[in-house]
Structure 1
């Protein structure tokens, strides 16, 4: 579970839901900081088997999911699609 300093994959177009933007604003968290963590292999609050699955996803071109808790109690999910065309920031209930 080591985070690297370089990008492991392309994010494609980056989009965010209104709910995610509001949650990030309320928690005073910069979306770019979370995107950087996601892109460099820090998947956030996931069990070890999901970290392993994400590593395989990077190597095999599958969808990648990260889960970051915010200080407000909300969580932000970041999902990069398998074709790397788009990365979405959203709240879990918006999935």
Structure 2
């Protein structure tokens, strides 16, 4: 084997190693991409849940205010009952 053949063989071997490293990096990058998409999806669901929680808390406050109003009316009506009897 001549010197040029040895250099060519070494270069081909080195290119093969570089190709394997690039393929490995490609797989890792694909995995990171999938993780980023999953994170984006989870973030979207978190925003949706946060908005729903805000709406539910607001509805709960409104219901509590309505209950307090009805309780005040009940107290007023109960106060009127003995006065009529």
Range class of TM-score, shorter chain: under 0.3
TM-score (norm 2): 0.18
Q: Which has the higher contact order (CA 8 A, sep 6+)?
A: 1
TM-score (norm 1): 0.16
Higher strand share: 1
Higher helix share: 2
